Structure 1
């Protein structure tokens, strides 16, 4: 492999006009309450991204007394002002989970780990032209606490 021709060679290169940003559930007070509470039936926007860009990574974990929460909490993704989501799926399914059971696994675009696979990662690049919105909908009958971050690149207008 010739390093100069690989994608690894570009890791240390700054790209003009590209900004790396994050939307997350962090505690803005500086405390340690780094989750969002979702009541039964509640939908919340976890990322509202404006302008052209690309989601590079999503990390998420959650907790609830509902043992089927991975099938009953939905992830919705909207691109470029769509009225209806392009993605609408149970969170567990999105991250490659079968039968609502957490397990450790690693693949190129998806990962569940550590502690019996309760931390979910997605590295599918998700480009958008004018904006993106990610929502979480709690269809359980219990409160669900969601911890997350969405890493993305913002590009200059017109790119």
Structure 2
């Protein structure tokens, strides 16, 4: 859980897929991994299977969101919920990308999670992206 980390994620239905737009502030800056600790940033960003952002254990928050959303049972790195990493620019990140892996209605009620470390897109089942820093439930507006 990162104090002061706030932002918005929007999903726009297009004829051939979905455009995803995220804007956040309060991201931790990059810190190299040292003495057995993982690096901080760039930050893993995913859709998780459950629409719950219950904090639970503050040392390991947002576990109620479950694992990565993976509706077609793909190996990690190819989950529909695997997104590009977020780079902190003095705490700010803004990104837009396109995916044809789902429709907007498919993700309503799921959660988006920002992680402390980068996703390696290989480790199973979830890319070893570290602690969950922020969570938001996807809602129709």
TM-score if structure 1 supplies the norm length? Answer: 0.29
Higher strand proportion (structure 1 or 2): 1
TM-score if structure 2 supplies the norm length? Answer: 0.31
Bigger radius of gyration, 1 or 2?
1
Q: Per chain length, whose mean CA-contact separation is higher, i.e. which structure has more relative contact order (CA < 8 Å, sep 6+)? A: 1
